[in-house]
Amino acid sequence: MFHFLYYGLVEHSHGTPKQQKGEVLLMKITVVGAGQCGSRIADEFARLGMKARRHRGVEVITNSLAVNTDAGDLTGLSCIKSDWRHRILIGGRKTNGHGVGKINDMAADIARDDADKVIDGIRTSKRFYESDAFLLVASTAGGTGSGSIPVLCSVIKQRYVDKPVYVLLVLPFEHEEQTEHRTIYNSAMCLKSVSSVADAVILVDNQRYIKKDASLRNNMTKINQLIVEPFYDILCAGEEKKKKNIGARLLDAGDIAQTLVGWTIIGYGKSELHTISLPFIRKRDFRAKSTETNKGLQAMDQAISELSLQCNPRDAGRALYLLSAPEKEMNMNLVKELGDYLKNIAPEAVIRYGDYPRKEGALTVSVVLSELKNVDKVKYLYNRFPDMLEKKEKTERALMAGKKELETASIGIPSLVE
Ligand SMILES: Nc1nc2c(ncn2[C@@H]2O[C@H](COP(=O)(O)OP(=O)(O)OP(=O)(O)O)[C@@H](O)[C@H]2O)c(=O)[nH]1
Ligand SMILES: [Mg+2]
């Protein structure tokens, strides 16, 4: 028996106003990436959209745009359409297309001046009006992405009041904190600014990916694929809506919108299934059932141990999980067991869930922990900010003093130009 609160399609009636009785809504998003990291991840979302169309016959990404002050970075993308409405160069006159060199306030000014270009790119895309939400993406440590994303978030929110705006922020590797004081300075400012305007801030820590596999240190493309992976099933989940699947809980746009609030973390776990089913293991056999349950719990355990950022699930006010597996591998007992597991580690959270039967593939569990009341890494970056500010001001003062000294020494030397 459930001893806690579950929300599934059958049990709740929330959802966006478009929702008809009994209809399941897909979550379609418009993705906007800013700066190098943001643009590359937006490119990866464009690839995910193509995959969803090809393999599952659904549209989940209505459009994907890249915004940058660096023209070279825009050229290097592969899946985002290559015209100027999709790859948007901002601040061209100020930076000559060479980036802002980590100066976040310069990027924020540029974003304010050129926000219309981004709005035009969003507005003029063919499928924009089908989209349910925005997902903006940037790293916190660079200049362009971290400086422009809070401004773009605020402009988009004011312009499209009925669509939630989620922001995915990538936190820096630990070694970047040591080598560059701008890393902490930019990150703290970006986190504070974005959290005050976005509907939810999805946090991803680069360091987590190299902890899992050190060879990923120089493989940003692979890290980006891992960052995007958990979104695939969540976005595609409504696909099987026409299938008669008694007792199934389908996850839809309403569930996602109700879950994503404030600081948010995602996780993803996978358990490979036997491709050959042995004739002597009958599905009704209790041992076969318990193997399925173990596989499900193993995938859930992986999703929780490999969350996109280290956090304490007990701090979550809302959570969501999606079990995705071939229909024959799924049973409600497993769905309930996963719910019990999650409730155990996140006792304060209101849990929404869904199961997503597919024709084939592995058993996967996607987890979202949201409305986190505490995130240690964010607190750490905020706490280190005053030191970094002092260091930055000291460096600037030393630079000014040096310049002044040179200028004073040059007094009395005639110049050959006016
Ligand atoms: N996961 C991931 N992180 C990246 C990627 N590219 C850069 N980063 C991280 O992003 C931070 C640097 O930010 P960038 O996105 O390169 O900077 P930017 O927004 O282009 O800003 P400027 O170049 O300073 O104008 C560092 O923490 C990098 O480790 C990427 O493709 N994937
Ligand atoms: Mg850049």
pLDDT tens track for 261-288: 999 999 999 987 654 444 444 545 555 5
- At 151-172, the pLDDT tens digits run 999 999 999 999 999 999 999 9
Report the alpha-carbon distance of residue 220 to residue 110 in Å, rounded. 27
Name the strand (E) or helix (H) holding 68.
strand 61-68
Mean pLDDT, residues 379-397: 92
Closest CA to 166 of 250, 216, 109, 234: 234
- For ligand 1, atom 16, the nearest C-alpha belongs to 36
Task: State CA 414 to chain mean position distance.
Answer: 59
Q: What does the pLDDT read at residue 328?
A: 80
Q: What does the pLDDT read at residue 63?
A: 96
What residue ranges line ligand 1, CB within 6 angstroms? 35-37, 40, 69-70, 99-102, 139, 141-145, 170, 172-173, 176, 206, 220, 223-224
Residue 20: pLDDT band (50, 70, 90) is very low
Mean pLDDT, residues 240-245: 49
Report the alpha-carbon distance of residue 76 to residue 73 in Å, rounded. 5
Mean pLDDT, residues 315-332: 89
Counting from 1 in the atom list of ligand 1, the atom nearest the Cα of 99 is 25
Q: Give the three-class secondary structure for 370.
A: strand
Q: What does the pLDDT read at residue 159?
A: 97
Correct CATH for 25-238 of 3.40.50.880, 3.40.50.720, 3.40.50.1440, 3.40.640.10: 3.40.50.1440
Residue 243: pLDDT band (50, 70, 90) is low
The reply to whether domains 25-238 and 265-370 share a CATH topology is no
Cα of 126 to ligand 1 centre, how many Å?
A: 29
Residue 18 burial by Cβ neighbours in a 10 Å radius (0-12, 13-18, 19+): exposed
Asked whether the predicted pLDDT for residue 2 surpasses 60, the reply is no
- For ligand 1, atom 31, the nearest C-alpha belongs to 37
Mean pLDDT, residues 288-300: 77
Q: What does the pLDDT read at residue 218?
A: 75
- pLDDT, mean over the chain: 86
Q: What does the pLDDT read at residue 392?
A: 84
Residue 248: pLDDT band (50, 70, 90) is low
Report the alpha-carbon distance of residue 346 to residue 342 in Å, rounded. 6
Cα of 176 to ligand 1 centre, how many Å?
A: 11
Q: What does the pLDDT read at residue 405?
A: 94
Report the alpha-carbon distance of residue 287 to residue 272 in Å, rounded. 18
User: Under CATH, domain 265-370 is a member of which superfamily?
Assistant: Tubulin/FtsZ, C-terminal domain (3.30.1330.20)
Mean pLDDT, residues 68-95: 94
Backbone φ and ψ of 68, nearest 5°: -155, 155
Q: What is the dihedral of CA 119, 124, 125, 131, to 10 degrees?
A: 60
Kindly give the pairing relationship between strand 6-7 and strand 61-68: unpaired
Asked whether the predicted pLDDT for residue 1 surpasses 60, the reply is no
- In this prediction the pTM is 0.89
Counting from 1 in the atom list of ligand 1, the atom nearest the Cα of 100 is 25
- At 166-193, the pLDDT tens digits run 999 999 999 998 887 899 999 999 999 9
Q: What does the pLDDT read at residue 276?
A: 43
Q: Where are the domains of the chain?
A: 25-238, 265-370
- By mean pLDDT, which of 91-100, 151-160, 225-234, 247-256 is the weakest? 247-256
Q: What does the pLDDT read at residue 28?
A: 92
